[in-house]
Amino acid sequence: MDETTDSCGRSVLNILFSYSKTKLVNTIFLERVNHTTIAQFFVNTITLYNISFNNLIFYISDNAAYMKKAYTVVLFPLIPNLFHNICLAHSYNLIGETWIDYENFKLLDTVVKNIKASFVYSVARKRRWREHLALNSISLDNFSFDLEGNAQDISITLPPLPVKTRWNSWLMLDLEFFKIRNSAIAPFVASRIDQTGAFLRNGTNNPPFSIEMSQLLSHNNYQTNDFFIPIFSEAFKLALAKFEKHTNNHSALPLFRAIQCFNPQFIQSSTNHHNLNNYNLITEFQNPSNEIISEWAIYCGLSEVFEEGSLDLNQYWQGKKGNFPNLSKIAFIYIWLPISGVEL
């Protein structure tokens, strides 16, 4: 579910279906946007396409109050097997933005905004900046040539322009993961969230310093332990609090933990992961057939060697169709679950 506004200021609600690929299936203009109109449009669209409620797994939206209320008040009582997957990419953006309003970073935020304002809108300032660098003996060893063959110094540059998203760079790898579309990566979600939590918790007591930052502080005779560590620790505590707010009660996280079972690396990492009852949030495992139980036992007994890097789960389960026809059929449903919403 994606709610936005058009060029005329009207509220627009889009519904997209996702299984392997994402498709826009319905759009409506709403005079009133609330939990009732959201839920009504959802049910009407499902009915229009003659989709059984039993075949629904995720209701995906942003963190808006009316989206959450549509799920808790209307959709979940109507469709008990439906999980609300609040967009994780959106949540991670909110976590990263905790540092924008952090009191001890206000001065830095103001400085970089002023640098951007100073240089973006004034050609004269750009010219004076380059003249200033040249007058202060900035190295002129590197040259490029323009279209007329004139030498141009490329070592004299403008300062890098800050952008708001730079505040999220410390968790950019995880944020980019949650923006991945149309890939079979759902079984990796829980471990990604756990990694982020561990990183933030460690940062509250032992905030990481890059080599560049350590050298800069040392060059300026700053004692990191006495001054900077408490500041950075507090910044990590703010981010951790926001992280826990968005993940501790995320209604889809228990299912994401369950579908880790379709990652063979997870299953083969510990015998504690072999109990099929641990994954009974997966509908097909609540009352498994003898065929599924038999295939599961063989699957848990595998000892495979995987190449370094990301495991292609779609390719893996394609290769297991012959040995595990029932288990692979279930796996293809869950490994392809969308992990975040789609912005139109």
Q: What percent of the chain has pLDDT over 70?
A: 84
Angle between the N-to-C axes of helices 229-247 and 88-96, in degrees from 0 to 180, rounded to the nearest 10: 160
Res 206 pLDDT > 70: yes
Res 257 pLDDT > 90: yes
320: confidence class by pLDDT, cuts 50, 70, 90: very high
- Segments of the chain assigned E as strands: 2-5, 11-19, 21-30, 58-61, 83-86, 143-145, 151-153
pLDDT for 141 equals: 45
pLDDT for 80 equals: 93
Which amino acid is present at 165?
T
pLDDT for 68 equals: 93
Res 163 pLDDT > 60: no
For the ranges 27-31, 212-216, 224-228, the one whose mean pLDDT is highest: 27-31
pLDDT for 31 equals: 84
For 112-128, the pLDDT digits (tens) are 777 777 776 677 877 78
Mean pLDDT of the residues in the chain: 83
Higher pLDDT, 2 or 324: 324
Q: What percent of the chain has pLDDT over 90?
A: 45
242: confidence class by pLDDT, cuts 50, 70, 90: very high
Res 142 pLDDT > 60: no
For 42-76, the pLDDT digits (tens) are 999 999 999 999 999 999 888 889 999 999 999 99
Beta strands 143-145 and 58-61 are unpaired
Nearest CA among 67, 77, 25, 75 for reference residue 50: 25
pLDDT for 151 equals: 42
Mean pLDDT of 310-315: 89
The set of long-range contacts for 189-194, using a CB threshold of 8 Å and a minimum separation of 24, is 189/88, 189/256, 189/339, 190/253, 190/256, 190/257, 190/260, 191/260, 191/266, 193/88, 193/247, 193/253, 193/256
pLDDT for 297 equals: 97
pLDDT for 149 equals: 40
pLDDT for 166 equals: 56
pLDDT for 20 equals: 60
**Alpha helix stretches (DSSP H) within 121-263:** 123-135, 172-178, 189-205, 211-219, 229-247, 253-258
Nearest CA among 17, 92, 12, 8 for reference residue 59: 17
Mean pLDDT of 295-302: 97
Higher pLDDT, 140 or 305: 305
Structure tokens at 34: 């609330």
Res 313 pLDDT > 90: yes
CA dist 108 → 63, 242, 272 (Å): 29, 22, 48
